[in-house]
Structure 1
Amino acid sequence: MKLPRNPLFWAVAFGHAVNDTFMSMGAVLLTFLSGSILPIGPREIGLAESFRQLVGSFSQPFFGWFVDQTGGRWAGAGGVAWTVSFMILGLTLGLATQNFWLMFIPYGLAALGSGAFHPVGSMHAAESDKAHATGNLSWFFLFGQLGLAFGPGIAGALIQISGSIVPVFALGVFAIPAVYVMGKHIPDRTAYQLTRPEKLERRQAINWKALPWKALGLLLLVVALRSVAQPGSGQFIPVLFEHKGWDPAFYGLITSTFWLASGFGGVYFGNLADRIDRRVVVAASLALCAPTFIFLPHVDGLLAFALALAAGGLSGGSHSILVSTAQELMPGSKAFASGAILGIIFGMGALGSLFIGTLAESTGLPTAFEIVGFITFGAAASAFLLPRPIRKAQATESENVALEAGD
């Protein structure tokens, strides 16, 4: 596996880690608040997480279009600052007023910052080494998953030690170096347009009617089914184990285990998809993942950690592959493609979270997780509908032409 070396890559990767650390703390913090301060349950937690994810998902395509024109220096840097600031604002209001709805609005609007950042980071990560775009994206998403992993664990540990969410707010200082390095390394609008004139021409000349809508529709189907498991279910892992009587430090840790495995699974399967048919990689990883969600509610202790590890690694393994597929289908507008596919992933995940939360209220959270497992089997089967990689398809056609010429 090739490790990226471009400083621009590392700037957006660091920003990704900081952004997703704060975004991932939400479920643990709301779970703690639901037991001591706010009169909320799984339905309200699902509603808050769904609203936040939908805000991010619907905004990403628009930010992606903007980034295609400008390079996204301040969309990236400012996005991270916005995410951290509004997360802290929302939770402070919830803590001070004990009113769910006063917390709900700024908590959800924090995702506008995440929506601004992700198209910037995805575009620059992929273009820093075009020969290894999927691998580069998998490394980029690993840093996001590291944030998703360490965020719940850190939040849970701080809550366990202090009995309050207030110490978590001090982590906002990490946004300062992230904003600085992105502002330094992401090119400004003039530099971006001067170094990429041919791309700007292609973007201005995009023929929307000529886009492969059938392939995009099939990609959407795979994304929709997969997103119930990843990222939709991740918000309820702390709730699942809090109901089992686990302390905040431990339900934060198992949530971190899930997201950490998701990141490393993305790197492994993303690099694997650069070498073999991505459809096989996506289908196999999701088929192996499905049973882990079915059995996760029924285990405890070390076995629960093992299943969370497998569930995260296998469900997250296809993330960078799906983003790379979208970029390949829209080569003249990678930031828009990244924003659109990430928006769809997070949007479907938001609907998945709302579905799981509502289902849990009527049938119980264990049954909801079992249903997630069966939906994941459907996602695995649908993976074979994905288009073949363009590079591999072109290579196969070239080989056939060469064979015909030699006859």
Structure 2
Amino acid sequence: MKTGKQIFMPDMVGKHYGAFWRFKGRYRVVKGSRASKKSKTTALWFIFNMMKYPDANLLVVRKVYRTLQNSCFSDLCWAIRRLGVERYWKVTKSPLELIYVPTGQKILFVGLDDPLKITSISVPKGVLCWMWLEEAYEVTDEEAFDRLDESIRGQLPKGLFTQITITFNPWSERHWLKKRFFDAEPNENLFTATTNYMMNEFLSDSDLALFEAMKKNPRRYRVAGLGDWGITEGIVYDNWEERIFNIDEVRKRPGVRSAFGLDFGYTNDPTALFCGLVDVGARTIFVFDEIYERGLTNHQIADKIKERGYAKERIVADSAEPKSIAELRDDGIRRVTPSRKGKDSVNHGIQRIQDFHIVVHPRCASFLTEISTYCWDKDKKTGETINRPEDFNNHLMDAMRYAIMDAVREDGYSFK
């Protein structure tokens, strides 16, 4: 196709991803830190190569469908703009879909929370030969990946190849991804790489300063800075399971209480809304929904709470943000209230939650990531575990604590 414009791809992509870009084996697996440009580079590769290979189609997958629009879909749209090829692509949001107009090739988006849709996917032009599994750490069930793997198959035109690209942040060394791909014997069908922010030459000085400051917390820097596997020693909560449950049936149980907690974030940390039900008699917490996004203003937080239908719920928010709480009330979230804090309130809250069994709905992917990596901190000098949770990847953990301690407050506990 002649566009009248020449693009020098190294300028678009930058350095450090040459081997990733050239690999044509079946599994291309990249773990990395935040800001390592792994997702942006992946998006550029797919847009460039969809236009290069006229029979190729792409399936983009995350554990939860609703998380795709603000991640992979957004990155692919960014890649289209960066390459200056907007006029050749049709973009739709309902459903999420990208179509390369000259040939009719498609980029389709599915969530593992809709398995029937995955099995019924087909394309009108060419073959479905590529898949991108983003934030693969969210997929805790290896068999779910196997089913995805089996869906990318079939006869290929000459010159085309089948490939599954997997990108994720490596929160825990216990995840099946490590054993399956990173501990595997080298072979021609497998490419693995670890990326970090130092491979991203497009970062600003202020971006780099954030990572320099992160070095004060070695465990956090190891994962979020260097892209190494998180070492999960001294897990705070082991009283949980991932299981599908009927929310309406749980709500109908006598004595079940709603529990909503909110931890504010913006640039570096996400805003986290915990949505749960507490069956005090059965000593069970049911986690059924979440909001987990960076860059949300208070007005946008209010809008998302309304969209989910939680505007009338009592929501317990971080008391360190009184201005944000006031702004949410002005925006119609009338029952938001500050959390109660006091001496040892964090540990008291954790101890109370440890008395319950926690059932997590599979769609709460960010909650599952946090609870599986929430550890007790260690003394920086001695390396000994101390009686304080690590202040890292804990936003929904804090939100849960605000919510649960409020929901059981009349059962005899007070921070005062």
Whether the TM-score (by the shorter chain) exceeds 0.5 is no
**TM-score normalized by structure 2?**
0.25
Q: Could you say which structure has the larger radius of gyration? A: 2
* Structure with the largest fraction of helix: 1
* Structure with the largest fraction of strand: 2
